[in-house]
């Protein structure tokens, strides 16, 4: 697919988009490798859909460059329209032509000899598993089947990059889980580079090889799902991706200590120093499954909320300092009551991430 000998499918540098005084995307640098899937996540209005539209050619950037397959798609004096970019798009609502059959939707816009188009279409029907539906109309298909048709149509022109905007948001929860497993397998077989936008964190963690977290038009962190979840670069990233609480900490004899005990986390300064030189507070990121709680008097705090999730309870505990944290505990027939005094202890089998002034502290 790549004639320039590079495995870089798409690269944007300094990409910026403004709407009047509003900066939607600011100085974004992203490199997408051939065959990888990149998930774009962030709060509403952070610029992730605008970024996707810039990559597709549906928006004109105010600054920066976009390159795919060694060719400049957008930059100073250059703005290729969507049809001249080898970039496929799957829209949130699939955007199928209601008056065309499955096959007609897929071959729409394909060029070349009819025999070649027929062979390509059959390959795509087999690839996405809808060969039996080739002559059906879109309104005769389920949501998952429509998703597959939209994907086949986007892949028909052999794009170097496939862009997907909230690809599973129109599916009910059970179907959504099943379809995303199936689509992930299809994309892996197709070998195309993918960038997709989602509000579903679980979806991003499952689908993506790397995740880019956006905030206010900028990229906060790009990393593997495992690193971005367990080693976020900032408190914002840690709290956005998954459930996280942050315990105040201080240094005693070279160890980070919290009000519930010592924590296995990188110490930001050397032994004997009570606080970082600038006086910024230290915080340790704790997820609900990092703690164990038990009834105890006096304990460390009280239960202020209990949520039944099926196999477990999610407890909210207010520590005596006023700090609140959440704890995931196995289901028992005798759950802890509200206002019960409880003791907490760390149970994680991995080092915690600590922060100074909101930024992560790397282990030395």
- CATH number for the domain harbouring residue 328: 2.40.50.140
The answer on pLDDT for 362 being more than 80 is no
If asked whether residues 76 and 177 sit together in one domain, one would say yes
pLDDT for the residue numbered 334: 84
State how far the Cα of 66 lies from the Cα of 288, in Å rounded to an integer. 40
At 15-42, the pLDDT tens digits run 999 999 999 999 999 999 999 999 999 9
If asked whether residues 258 and 205 sit together in one domain, one would say no
If asked whether residues 155 and 244 sit together in one domain, one would say no
From 209, 232, 255, the end of a domain falls on 232
- Number of structural domains the chain divides into: 2
State how far the Cα of 141 lies from the Cα of 273, in Å rounded to an integer. 66
pLDDT-derived band at 256, boundaries 50, 70, 90: confident
From 197, 232, 267, the end of a domain falls on 232
State how far the Cα of 185 lies from the Cα of 187, in Å rounded to an integer. 5
Residue 96 lies in a domain: yes
Residue 4 three-state SS: coil
Residue 1 lies in a domain: no
Q: Are strands 37-41 and 210-215 parallel, antiparallel or unpaired?
A: parallel
Q: In terms of Cα–Cα distance, which of 174, 161, 165 is closest to 37?
A: 161
Mean pLDDT of 148-157: 88
At 322-349, the pLDDT tens digits run 999 999 998 877 899 999 999 999 987 7
pLDDT-derived band at 252, boundaries 50, 70, 90: confident
pLDDT for the residue numbered 113: 55
If asked whether residues 287 and 214 sit together in one domain, one would say no
State how far the Cα of 283 lies from the Cα of 271, in Å rounded to an integer. 17
Q: What is the mean pLDDT of the chain?
A: 88
pTM above 0.85, yes or no: yes
Enclosing domain of residue 283: 237-361
pLDDT for the residue numbered 238: 92
If asked whether residues 228 and 241 sit together in one domain, one would say no
Q: Are strands 161-165 and 193-197 parallel, antiparallel or unpaired?
A: parallel
Cβ–Cβ < 8 Å for 251, 257: yes
At 205-234, the pLDDT tens digits run 999 999 999 999 999 999 999 999 999 999
List of residues 6+ apart from 200 with CB closer than 8 A: 168, 169
Cβ–Cβ < 8 Å for 131, 102: no
Q: Are strands 71-75 and 78-79 parallel, antiparallel or unpaired?
A: antiparallel
pLDDT for the residue numbered 169: 82
The answer on pLDDT for 201 being more than 60 is yes
pLDDT-derived band at 264, boundaries 50, 70, 90: confident
At 282-322, the pLDDT tens digits run 899 999 999 999 999 999 999 999 999 889 999 999 999 99
The alpha carbon of residue 204 and the mean position of all alpha carbons in its chain are separated, in whole angstroms, by 4
pLDDT-derived band at 59, boundaries 50, 70, 90: very high
The answer on pLDDT for 6 being more than 70 is no
Angle at 311 between CA 305 and CA 315, to 5 degrees: 15
At 72-93, the pLDDT tens digits run 999 999 999 998 888 988 888 8
Q: In terms of Cα–Cα distance, which of 86, 278, 56, 288 is closest to 269?
A: 278
From 206, 232, 258, the end of a domain falls on 232
If asked whether residues 220 and 302 sit together in one domain, one would say no
């Amino acid at each position: 697919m790549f004639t320039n000998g590079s495995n870089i499918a798409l690269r944007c540098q300094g990409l910026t988009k403004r709407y009047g005084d509003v900066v939607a995307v600011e100085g974004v640098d992203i490199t997408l490798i051939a065959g990888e899937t990149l998930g774009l996540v962030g709060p509403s209005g952070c610029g992730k859909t605008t970024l996707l539209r810039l990559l597709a050619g549906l928006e004109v950037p105010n600054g920066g460059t976009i390159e795919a397959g060694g060719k400049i798609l957008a930059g100073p004096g250059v703005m290729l329209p969507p049809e001249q970019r080898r970039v496929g798009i799957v829209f949130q609502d699939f955007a199928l032509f209601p008056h065309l059959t499955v096959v007609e939707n897929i071959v729409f816009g394909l060029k070349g000899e009819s025999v070649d188009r027929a062979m390509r279409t059959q390959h795509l029907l087999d690839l996405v598993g809808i060969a039996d539906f080739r002559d059906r109309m879109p309104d005769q298909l389920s949501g998952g089947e429509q998703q597959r048709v939209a994907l086949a149509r986007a892949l028909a022109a052999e794009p170097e990059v496939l862009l997907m905007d909230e690809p599973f948001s129109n599916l009910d929860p059970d179907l959504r889980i099943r379809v995303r497993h199936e689509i992930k397998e299809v994309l892996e077989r197709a070998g195309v580079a993918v960038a997709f936008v989602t509000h579903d964190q679980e979806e991003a963690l499952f689908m993506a090889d790397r995740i880019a977290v956006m905030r206010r038009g900028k990229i906060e962190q790009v990393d593997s799902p495992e690193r971005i979840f367990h080693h976020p670069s900032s408190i914002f990233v840690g709290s956005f991706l998954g459930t996280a609480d942050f315990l105040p900490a201080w240094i005693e004899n070279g160890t980070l200590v919290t009000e519930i005990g010592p924590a296995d986390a990188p110490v930001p300064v050397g032994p004997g120093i009570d606080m970082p030189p600038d006086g910024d507070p230290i915080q340790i990121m704790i997820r609900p499954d990092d703690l164990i709680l038990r009834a105890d008097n006096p304990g460390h705090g009280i239960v202020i909320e209990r949520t039944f999730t099926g196999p477990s309870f999610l407890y909210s505990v207010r520590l005596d300092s006023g700090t609140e944290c959440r704890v995931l505990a196995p289901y028992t027939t005798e759950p802890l009551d509200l206002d019960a005094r409880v003791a907490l202890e760390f149970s994680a089998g991995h080092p915690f991430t600590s922060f100074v002034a909101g930024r992560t502290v790397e282990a030395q």
